[in-house]
Amino acid sequence: MNAAQGPRAAYFAFDRFPSSKGSAVHIAQMADELFTWAGGGLLGVLGGGLPRYQREGTREIVRFDAPIPNLIDRAEAYSAWVAGLLETRLETLEVCHVRDPWSALPVVTATGRRYRVVYEVNGLPSIEMAHTWPWAAPETLAKIGELERFCLARADAVVVPSRVIGDAVRGLGVPGERVRLVPNGADVRDRPRRPDDAPGEYLVYVGALQPWQGLDVLLRAFARLADLPELRLVICSSVPERRARQVRRLAERLGVAERVDWRFTLPHHEVAAWLAHAAVSVAPLTGCARNLDQGCAPLKVLESMAAGVPVVASDLPAVRELMADGEHGRLVPADRPAELARSVRILLEYPEEAAAMGRRARAHIAGGLTWAHSRAALRAVYRALTPSAALSRADR
């Protein structure tokens, strides 16, 4: 990208980047593909203690870091900030890729825009915020729903990571031909070195601690494995320790706190090591509207499978898109601690079969669910939208 010309591509996300969350892994892959395709570009994200501006070769990273406590006020200020970034770049932009309605609104309403808009839907705030912020007023959620529909209707393509989310998007009125499936992925790598402080045998949970993740279900299941005193549960939390207070109090009430090892905001490569050496990885997603009606595409499942570890996960439609029961691990009814504990126990009692499941899971990822496969699908979206644009030079 010639700095005097301005960027041909931009990616906007109302997310802190980089971070230890799975969303940051996804942003890194999607934005990198866009900028590889375009020969550079602009990445607009949230800051929170990170530099406001960085240049990495032909790529610019700019971060919004205004200290606005109220989420909606902060989102609206972020939208205005994105609009300001677009004003001086309208002449050169050919593709804008957005990840949420607050990024999308200024992009789809910019006066005189000539670029194409790719709206990547990993979740719908109108559904998800009811679980993240249970005190949010129904009127607020209704307005966010209107904003989502407004922006989705004006996007040239809508990218979704799972069929369940695709169905939710089509339910909002988006024509099926504009919805494109670009699954999440995982990298299949050599097995990393075992963490120095890893216990002999352990279960692992990776991810954030919101209620829909099902940590309460996992802890109740783990309490049912008290007759396995050497077994430990390692929780690799993508959020800071202060956000784990409620879950840790529950562990104390259940009498399992002394058998739980916490690791907070680890770098991605360290999480990979904890996954690779676990006996079982657990993804106890709850059967709530956020996971069923909206859908999800849990990276923890993909990355566990890529590490060659059998997975015990909730039997939800979005999870069934990624793994098969008895083939790559076990699927159990959501919100059922007894069933979860039973499936974990069986895998521990039959380690050879568990190891075979892990090998099949790893091969399954390598066969079609790597980030390379995901990026190729995204590249096809850009190619379809800009068949004769200058962006095509990066694909020669």
pLDDT digits (tens, 9 = 90+) for 269-283: 999 999 999 999 999
Number of neighbouring beta carbons within 10 Å of residue 388: 6
How many domains are contained in the chain? 2
pTM given for the model? 0.90
Same domain, 61 and 120: yes
Q: How far apart are the first and last CA of the chain?
A: 16
- On whether residue 250 sits in a domain, the answer given is yes
Domain with 15 in it: what CATH number? 3.40.50.2000
Answer for the pair 15, 23: CB distance below 8 angstroms, yes or no: yes
Same domain, 217 and 150: no
Same domain, 241 and 343: yes
Largest separation between any pair of C-alpha atoms in the chain: 67
pLDDT of residue 396: 41
Please identify every stretch of the chain with a pLDDT value under 50, giving residue numbers as ranges: 1-4, 390-396
Same domain, 272 and 302: yes
Same domain, 147 and 288: no
Same domain, 115 and 205: no
Number of neighbouring beta carbons within 10 Å of residue 348: 16
Same domain, 56 and 176: yes
Same domain, 205 and 164: no
Same domain, 377 and 349: no
Q: Where are the alpha helices (DSSP H) in 227-295?
A: 245-254, 268-276, 289
- On whether residue 212 sits in a domain, the answer given is yes
pLDDT digits (tens, 9 = 90+) for 242-263: 999 999 999 999 999 999 999 9
**What residue numbers bound the domain in which 116 lies?**
9-185+370-387
Same domain, 168 and 249: no
- On whether residue 396 sits in a domain, the answer given is no
- On whether residue 133 sits in a domain, the answer given is yes
Q: What is the DSSP string of 115-165?
A: SEEEEE-S--HHHHHHHH-TT--HHHHHHHHHHHHHHHHT-SEEEESSHHH
pLDDT of residue 389: 53
User: How far apart, in whole angstroms, are the C-alpha atoms of residue 63 and residue 6?
Assistant: 18
Q: In what order do the strands lie in the sheet with 179-181?
A: 53-56, 59-64, 41-46, 9-16, 95-98, 116-120, 157-160, 179-181
